[in-house]
Structure 1
């Protein structure tokens, strides 16, 4: 990158709330990774003289700038298995495919090679922020943090914690696990990289007992770290959790009694929450990562996202590779719309999620879910510049360009371009990616 000062001139869009989409034609000024000025009218702007020494990026009429995508839940070590074993239910899929693969990450060299590919893949797909599950191995998972630093992705990185025995032999002694987690957290913090943060990661209540979860909660408090896990993904999973926790009336209670549920916590799936669990999560400030691809592929269920949003539960999107079969948040947006429409077809009136609402969930909603909305997720002065320059008609892309236009203004044309990208686009239409003002992908 030749300069730390940029002016982006052209159409730009970002969600200001679930119901409010802001689309403008003007310019955004970025200095040292932060947005310092937004002008929503490009007319009569003498940019060359006003911004001498800045790199001026002029978008053409087919391009639009949007905030970077936020993936609130994905499993980095599972990427080699993407598209494999998705005919199995959750617990069987974990035992047969997932745990055996994750055991390989004791090999640090193997981990480094996989994670380098994973981070580049997500950045190529426009994911500027990712919340990663790693494996049980501290050294292997540190390679994921190193890859994020190398390629400049904004991430939370979690060393998975498990202490209950399983047939794959993939678990850890409780004391050893807690010691390794604390060391892992300290090692990540020692990088002193503001884009890379540790996150406590009890896999789920199927594989963690009270001693481990309460110990992780203490570490979270000590280092003010976020916590991530899974909840209520599958009916068999829920039944098993309640069986091994007979004093608890719900899945959420298992976490709550161990101080896991708080405003630093994000839970994946949450398909089958009871009304009581929903209210508990809202009261505690817990966010959820909606993972429609894996919910469908593993036949776990249809998550009632509209119900959760109407009850003030904060929701972001997750790809959940490799239960999910796509590493693209664009895919998660489309499946979110599909699942919501299917619920409405089944009689849940008002449950449909629109394309603009899905766009919100993929950007500002995800940032809110990860408590990063003060930094990223939308275009606002003072926020860091994580952004995608998209071109729906990029060369060799999936969207055909036809010589007609139904839009009467530049703003309306920009809305048309954004819709086409959301419904039809792929990584070829993401021609530039910026993280904290630095270009990390460039196809122009």
Structure 2
């Protein structure tokens, strides 16, 4: 498709649904949201139709009729929802989604991940993989993604270029790994890793000087892969640039044992990052499955964030993260697809999985089986809560809570138009048409429609996607 530029003011009319707080979705019907040519929401009017918008809103905003485009929802089956935020995704691993066999984390890295990432030093191959990855994530409603790239500077820069041209809001991380990795895929030294990281930062600065759409993100792969010198160097670079950071923590028990072996003087996995200065308010920690109380308290104290990746955690048999426990500690949590540990580019899939694995914690034999019933019930996440993690929670994790994740005046229009399948009152036996797996019969309440979307929805329901007011995906 040809991407439209937000050179006009825009009015969106109909039903809007977004997270008001962690446990509460807000439903706004018969509402108008006005977005200026910069992509910012400048007005929200309830009890408003198209005629009222023309008669009152346009004059108030100083808009002329010929410079406004209008998008309406279809009653009962369509609604606007904030764009999803993917807080942890490996773009070069996209071709491997669904391929993990019986592997666990460390075997999977050596068998599938490192060979694929290394092969993307071929720019034609990288372009093919990254273009499809971005297309698919946009098609599933992901307007913002925190990407891990590879150690190759040119291929990493290409990912930034493609996100910028295709309109996806993105954080691009050139991966640092100078201590542990195969001979064919490893940084030569800490100095080389840091120089390569600076090269990508400067490339993105030339591309998007204020990092409004695409931003660098400092990316030590995980503690075992990085030398002490690299972690210290990234800490200093972060202080100089104030850029965000991302890494992995406590994903797998063998990985934790490896950390203990490499860093015998550290108290814990989290302490390794803290000791070398990279556990701070800008850090996104992926997984955080097997944290101790002390580690969680330290992460909360440092105001670091967590990317919860339930699909990957299940696929690689890594474990079940205790999201309610993290939230109760005051730790901000978002959702990640973690492709290709995760098998899907869909944050909606991650949301439904987050709901289900929270149930697993309290099932007979689960980690929290010994708690009182009230405590077990509290550990389970609701549909409203996982949608919060997919939007506002993710925005907090990537440091954009004031810009994206909800529909509020002053925020940017990062949004998706969702269309559900309205089943007609009479169906001919030889007629079967569908707009996806979410069948709406008309008697469902809106919270029931949303629940059906969470558990049955997919990219077929995502009709249009906007980032900063720009149409970046539309079903043909």
TM tier, smaller: over 0.9
Tell me if the contact between 1:24 and 1:41 (Cα under 8 Å) persists in the aligned partners.
Answer: no
SS, match of residue 383 in structure 1: coil
Q: Does 1:283 align with 2:288?
A: no
Alpha-carbon distance between aligned partners in 1 of 2:436 and 2:153, rounded to the nearest angstrom? 40
Q: Do the aligned partners of 1:294 and 1:325 also contact (CA within 8 Å) in 2?
A: yes
Cα distance in 1 for residues equivalent to 2:439 and 2:304: 43
Shift of 1:132: 0.2
Which among 251, 261, 269 is matched to residue 251 of structure 1? 269
The residue number in structure 1 matching 2:196 is: 180
Higher mean alpha-carbon deviation, 33-42 vs 45-54, is at: 45-54
1:124 aligns with 2:118: no
2:174 aligned with 1:151, yes or no? no
Residue 84 of structure 1, CA deviation? 1.1
SS in structure 2 at match of 1:306: helix
Q: Secondary structure at the match of 2:379?
A: coil
Taking only aligned residues, the RMSD between alpha carbons, in angstroms, comes to 1.6
> Which residues of structure 2 form unaligned runs of 5+?
59-64, 423-432
Aligned to 2:100: 85
Question: Is residue 355 of structure 1 aligned with residue 383 of structure 2?
Answer: yes
- 8 Å CA contact 1:294, 1:320 repeated in 2: yes
Is the 8 Å Cα contact of residues 149 and 174 (structure 2) preserved in structure 1? yes
Give the C-alpha shift of residue 136 in structure 1.
0.7
Structure 1 residues 320-335: aligned runs within 5 Å: 320-335=338-353
What is the TM-score normalised by the length of structure 1?
0.95
Q: 1:436 aligns with which of 447, 464, 468?
A: 468
The DSSP-based 3-state class of the residue aligned with 2:21 is coil
| 1:228-249 per-position Cα deviation (integer Å, ceiling 9, x unaligned) | 0000000000010111101001
| 1:11-39, Cα deviation, whole Å (9 max, x unpaired) | 10110210222111111111120000111
Is it true that 1:418 corresponds to 2:422 in the alignment?
Answer: no
Contact 2:336–2:347 (CA under 8 A) maintained in structure 1: yes
In 1, Cα distance between equivalents of 2:149 and 2:353? 25
- The Cα of 1:442 is off from its aligned counterpart by 1.8
CA shift for structure 1 position 176:
1.1
Query: Are 2:443 and 1:405 equivalent residues in the alignment?
Result: yes
Measured in 2, the distance between the counterparts of 1:123 and 1:162 equals 29
Q: Is the counterpart of residue 18 in structure 1 residue 25 in structure 2? A: no
Match of 1:410 in 2: none
- Higher deviation after alignment, 342-351 or 132-141: 342-351
1:296 maps to 314
Partner of 1:31: 36
CA contact (8 A) 2:307 2:334 kept: yes
Structure 1 pair 188/45, CA: closer, same or farther in 2 (3 Å)? same
Which stretches of structure 1, 4 residues or longer, exceed 6 Å deviation after superposition?
none
TM value normalised by structure 2: 0.89
Residues 32-431 of structure 1 mapped to structure 2, 5 A cutoff: 32=37, 33-42=39-48, 46-50=52-56, 51=58, 52-53=65-66, 54-61=68-75, 62-172=77-187, 173-192=189-208, 194-345=212-363, 346=366, 347=369, 349=376, 350-393=378-421, 396-399=434-437, 401=439, 403-407=441-445, 413=446, 415-431=447-463
CA distance in 1, matches of 2:394, 2:8: 27
What SS does the aligned partner of 1:169 have? Answer: coil
Q: Which runs of 5+ in 1 are unaligned?
A: 408-412
Q: In 2, are the aligned partners of 1:336 and 1:358 still within 8 Å (CA)?
A: yes
Q: Secondary structure at the match of 2:74?
A: coil
Partner SS for 1:99: helix
